[in-house]
Structure 1
Amino acid sequence: MNDEHAARIAEIRAGRAVSTAELDELWLGLPAVRPEEILGAWKGSAFSTGHPVEAMLATARWHGKRFDSLSDVHPLICRDDQGALFSNQELGGGGGASLWTVEFRGEPTATMVYDARPILDHFKRIDDATLLGVMNGKGVLDDKGRHFYFVLELERD
């Protein structure tokens, strides 16, 4: 990633408004990542682009994702009414997920494949502890044809 990309991502994460088109452009400038490089617990946050998934995740009190192994993935870690974390399998369509290398926009990168839904979350590296994610799959694009983008930050013990 070049310095310009780093500065733009820092501004966006600090609250600057962003369009999906700008996130599409930034995606192209980031390096791909391998599935085994992203194992662990990650705190998630959505970019404010107006995509309907933003509201769904806010209602569910989405916290992030947990990649325990390549075949044991919890795509929707949420908070319950008491604030405790849990794997929201109901929202995830009744299942978990797994990690694969999948080509997206002509480039192979780490991808979370949902077990029970035709949905893929592709990842690229922002820095050693931060990933840019883009949701893809059947029924994911909004009415303007836009993908849902999010960021994951590695949770340190």
Structure 2
Amino acid sequence: MTAADGAPARRLRELEQGTTSAQALAFFDSLPAVAVAELTGAWRGNEVPTGHRLDGLLGAFGWRGKHVASPEDVHPLVFETLGSLYSINPAVVPLGVVLRFPGALRSAAAQRAFRLLRGALRTSRPRARLRMTEHRGVLTATMIYDTLPVHDVFRRVDADTVLGVMDARGMHEPFVFALRRDGAGSGS
């Protein structure tokens, strides 16, 4: 499977329809590393449903993706409401609660509360950095959140698409997501 024949992109589209954590990680392990410089720019994100307890949460709250201005200036949580983009400060995300009680956040009341509070949750400051780290035996670009025990680790699907796994303290299985370069015409 080479990037030139488009097989990784096709496989990712298949996995985005729903898969298991083991299948998603096998695909992740088959992909090449990503250099930090390759991640500069705006990225549209979507979850790869694996049965993870966080599946569906980001999308329900309007997650758009990530923005990398430079390796030192990363916005890891970019959301969209009525065409307007804004970054959420991960420091205000109660990660322990989210991981323990994700079902409670799927309620209409939780989504209304987010809409009411999103002004207080916003930030214009970068809240993560990129570094090369070794994960699953491969040295690759990793987004390190400033205030949460979260690392988003990336592998290249093609020039405009990466597969990410969120590795966080307290999660037994990683949360899997894809990022497509904004404006790359990914069809998603």
Fold-level similarity (TM above 0.5): yes
How far apart are 1:93 and its partner, in Å? 1.5
Q: Map 1:95-106 to 2 at 5 A.
A: 96-106=127-137
Q: Which residue of 2 aligns with 1:43?
A: 44
- SS in structure 2 opposite 1:53? coil
Q: Which residue of 1 aligns with 2:33?
A: 32
Q: 2-side partners of 1:54 and 1:83: how far apart?
A: 23
Give a deviation string over 1:21-78, Cα, whole Å, max 9, x none.
Answer: 0011001110001111110000000011222222331232100000000000000001
Q: 2-side partners of 1:6 and 1:41: how far apart?
A: 19
Q: Which runs of 5+ in 2 are unaligned?
A: 93-125
Q: Which has the higher strand share?
A: 1
Match of 1:127 among 137, 141, 158: 158
Q: Which runs of 5+ in 1 are unaligned?
A: none
Between 19-28 and 92-101, report the one with greater CA deviation: 92-101
Change (3 A) 1:79 1:116: same
Determine what percentage of the aligned residue pairs are the same residue: 38
Q: Which has the higher helix share?
A: 2
Which contiguous aligned blocks of 4+ residues in structure 1 show a shift greater than 6 angstroms?
none
- CA root-mean-square deviation: 1.9
- Who wins on radius of gyration, i.e. which is larger? 2
Q: Which residue of 2 aligns with 1:153?
A: 180
- SS in structure 2 opposite 1:27? helix
Residue-pair matches, total: 148
